Amino acid sequence: MARKQYINFVNGLDAPYIASFNADRGAGPNRFFSATVDVTVRNGTVPTLQVDFEQFDEASQKFIAIAGATLTQSIVGTSSVDFDVNSERIRAVVTIGGTNPEFTFTLGAATAPN
């Protein structure tokens, strides 16, 4: 069964904002991961919202970017991305850009076996 973890953000955050969470891998070397960002309000001049996912690398003891695991949203609406992870520790790095940008959004994530 997939496990969902929702991370709610509020306006006025310093960018980038980082939220870490466990991928809850269970058995097996890889996990399929699905993430969705739902923007309900956006204001400002050319506002952009980017969410990059990173996984913890045990060898280097650092978080590293997951290729293809990026969500970019500049309008009200929903976008999603699916990718594989090899770590139990995953984080989302949220960067908000533009002039006086404001977003109201929800970031949802779920893991499931490949």
pTM of the full predicted structure?
0.77
| Burial tier of 106 (Cβ tally within 10 Å: 0-12, 13-18, 19+) | middle
What is the per-residue pLDDT across 46-62, written as a single tens digit (0 to 9) for each? 988 889 888 888 899 99
In order of start, what are the domains of the chain with their CATH numbers?
Answer: 3-112 (2.60.120.380)
Q: pLDDT tens digit string along 8-32?
A: 444 444 445 555 555 554 444 567 8
**Token code pair at residue 83:** 């990718």
Nearest to 17 by CA among 68, 64, 52, 43: 52
**Residue 91 — very low, low, confident or very high, per pLDDT cuts 50/70/90?**
confident
